[in-house]
């Protein structure tokens, strides 16, 4: 069966993920353009697919233990499915600034994956301070990610040292960012450079409902919270899942209060949704159940874009 390809990391699984993502991106862009194959649709589809491949590279590094994120081969299946499901709402633009934010949050998720109750993690708090300060400098509302540190500080033995490292990380990052910004623009506050302002994709013509996005995001959160104390009780997995759920909740807050700087309102939800959906795929021990879930979501994603 088809999902059997994604039981382990292999060339076949990566190629299948690539072509699934390419097809999903082409399909979405086609309908967003009002059912028109415009001149750059293949180029835009390829760019979006290569970005997915970048995420796949991170997955591979995680699997080979170079990173701590608990990614499995099922995420090669969940990423293209989320392309279909979450390409909802106003705007389809994607630019370099959003990629930087996404990669920085993945690095933060990697830090959350470590076991914080065994050794002093002052260095990790310094890194988190730098990461969260950087994304907050880009968009001040992203400073809400600092709240996630509450889940870690209670696991630290030397809390005073950890908090001091966090403060030094914030101060260091802020000093560097202000210096670079002032040197480049003459201003203290962040102004997006032209190189990061260029959009990779075609602005949609067809309007879309956000009902599908809302349904999928809330369903993933509810299922993940209910199953949080399920079979896998490893602290690493729990810390990581907590951060991903928190990340998804932040995306809901952003949409509800319209805290985005521009379009692509669904994008902040993409990585945590793919992560949590991958967890669901891995929970199904029987292959037939994975097949049923895949085809239901696949058909649901197509129909939601067409109607």
**Which residue would you say has higher pLDDT here, 263 or 144?**
144
Whole-prediction pTM: 0.90
| pLDDT tops 80 at residue 192 | yes
| pLDDT tops 60 at residue 78 | yes
Q: At what angle do helices 96-112 and 41-63 cross, to 10 degrees?
A: 20
| pLDDT tops 70 at residue 90 | no
Region 223-244: mean pLDDT is: 70
**Which residue would you say has higher pLDDT here, 88 or 175?**
175
What is the number of other CB atoms lying within 10 angstroms of the CB of residue 41?
A: 18
| pLDDT tops 80 at residue 237 | no
Region 40-47: mean pLDDT is: 89
What is the number of other CB atoms lying within 10 angstroms of the CB of residue 297?
A: 20
**pLDDT at 85 (0 to 100):** 87
| pLDDT tops 60 at residue 89 | no
**pLDDT at 233 (0 to 100):** 47
* φ and ψ at residue 210, rounded to 5 degrees: -95, 10
pLDDT, tens only, 266-283: 789 999 999 999 989 888
| pLDDT tops 50 at residue 235 | no
Give yes or no for a contact between 90 and 265, defined as CB atoms under 8 angstroms apart: yes
**pLDDT at 234 (0 to 100):** 47
Quick one: DSSP state of residue 187?
A: -
| Domains of the chain by residue range | 1-94+207-307, 96-198
**Alpha carbon distances (Å) from 282 to 8, 247, 295:** 11, 21, 16
Q: What is the mean pLDDT of the chain?
A: 84
Region 49-73: mean pLDDT is: 76
**Angle ∠(27,303,43) on CA atoms, nearest 5:** 10
Region 198-221: mean pLDDT is: 78
Quick one: DSSP state of residue 95?
A: B
Q: Which of 5-9, 35-39, 146-150, 153-157 has the highest mean pLDDT?
A: 146-150
**pLDDT at 111 (0 to 100):** 87
Nearest to 255 by CA among 91, 138, 109, 95: 91
Q: Where are the alpha helices (DSSP H) in 3-158?
A: 11-32, 41-63, 75-86, 96-112, 122-138, 150-153
Q: Which residues of 209-247 are buried (b: 16+ CB within 10 A; e: fewer)?
A: eeebbeebbeebbeebeeeeeeeeeeebebbbbbbbbbb
Region 69-93: mean pLDDT is: 77
Give yes or no for a contact between 211 and 255, defined as CB atoms under 8 angstroms apart: no
| pLDDT tops 90 at residue 231 | no
């Amino acid at each position: 069966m088809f999902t059997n390809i994604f039981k382990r990391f292999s060339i076949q699984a990566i190629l299948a993920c690539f072509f699934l993502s390419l097809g999903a991106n082409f399909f979405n862009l086609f309908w967003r353009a009002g059912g028109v194959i415009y001149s750059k649709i293949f180029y835009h589809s390829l760019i979006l697919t290569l970005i997915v491949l970048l995420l796949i590279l991170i997955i591979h590094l995680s699997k080979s233990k170079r990173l701590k994120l608990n990614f499995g081969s099922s995420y090669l299946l969940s990423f293209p499915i989320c392309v279909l499901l979450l390409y909802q709402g106003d705007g389809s633009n994607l630019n370099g600034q959003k990629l930087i934010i996404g990669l920085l949050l993945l690095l933060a998720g990697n830090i959350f994956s470590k076991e914080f109750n065994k050794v002093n993690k002052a260095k990790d708090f310094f890194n988190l301070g730098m990461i969260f300060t950087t994304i907050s400098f880009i968009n001040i509302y992203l400073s809400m990610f600092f709240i996630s540190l509450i889940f870690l500080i209670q696991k630290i033995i030397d809390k005073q040292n950890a908090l001091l490292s966090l403060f030094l990380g914030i101060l260091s990052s802020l000093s560097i960012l202000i210096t670079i910004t002032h040197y480049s623009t003459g201003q203290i506050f962040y102004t997006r450079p032209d190189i990061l302002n260029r959009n990779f994709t075609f602005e949609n013509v067809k309007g879309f409902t956000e009902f599908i996005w809302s349904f999928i995001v809330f369903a993933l959160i509810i299922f993940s919270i209910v199953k949080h104390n399920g079979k896998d009780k490893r602290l690493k997995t729990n810390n990581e899942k907590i951060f991903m759920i928190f990340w998804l909740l932040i995306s809901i807050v952003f949409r509800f209060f319209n805290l985005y700087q521009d379009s692509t309102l669904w994008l902040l939800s993409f990585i945590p949704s793919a992560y949590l959906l991958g967890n669901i795929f891995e929970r199904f021990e029987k292959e037939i159940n994975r097949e049923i879930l895949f085809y239901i979501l696949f058909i649901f994603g197509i129909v939601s874009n067409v109607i």
